[in-house]
Amino acid sequence: MRRPERTKPQRGIRSLIGRLARLGVIKFSGNLTIDGSLIVSDKGTDKIVEALGLIRDFDPVRYKRLLRDVRQILVTTLPSSVAQWADSSRACELDERYVIHQETTPELVASCIVHEATHARLMRCGIGYEEELRDRVERVCLRREIAFAAKLPAGTDRLEQVEATLAAMPDFSDKAMNERYLDGLRDALLYLNMPAWLVDLTVSYRRRRHRRRFARQPAS
């Protein structure tokens, strides 16, 4: 599930990894500007351009809002989601592995962008992503995806996927989201060509931190 960047500053290894990934992508990737929005990507740029074209052609009102709310679309490596909103940089971040996968269509990429642009709009309206709000916020974003997918000639598959997600929403607690992050961290770091020994050390350290953190919290 997509995860907007936390509203409070992140610290530690998780924050460092995120910043390094963003800086590396921006520094070494190509970039392209479409209607004022910057696409920063080393791979999958054509698919993103086509996705933006779908939003523009089939939902022009949403596209105009997107151009106001989203400063850039950044293709990077995300451990726990295919896309997320980074409010500090006003960036829709997409996981490179997802974008370049042969089964990921421009329609699916467009749906991801619509979802994250909804997070952007909500945050500009003062609605954050605190733990107690997440389920409702995600439901709003998923419904926007449904409305968009219904307008696409080839949006049926995505429409069914999002409706299934709405019917069985995942856990959006801090603990559950952190666990999903840790579950995907090893593959993400290996994809970034980090040495396996360092990956294992990093993941092990993070898991110990996770266990200590949530062991101190009272059971709900």
Is 70 in contact with 92 (CB distance < 8 Å)?
Answer: yes
Condensed to tens digits (0 to 9), the pLDDT of residues 8-27 reads 434 455 555 555 555 555 55
For the chain, the farthest-separated pair of C-alpha atoms sits apart, in whole angstroms, at 51
Residue 51's pLDDT is what?
A: 98
Residue 31's pLDDT is what?
A: 86
**What's the whole-model pTM score?**
0.87
Residue 101's pLDDT is what?
A: 97
In the chain, domain spans: 12-167, 174-215
Q: How far apart are CA 29 and CA 31, in angstroms?
A: 7
Residue 26's pLDDT is what?
A: 54
Q: How far apart are CA 112 and CA 174, in angstroms?
A: 22
Give 47: exposed, middle or buried? Use CB within 10 Å, 0-12, 13-18, 19+: buried
Residue 30's pLDDT is what?
A: 73
Q: How far apart are CA 203 and CA 182, in angstroms?
A: 7
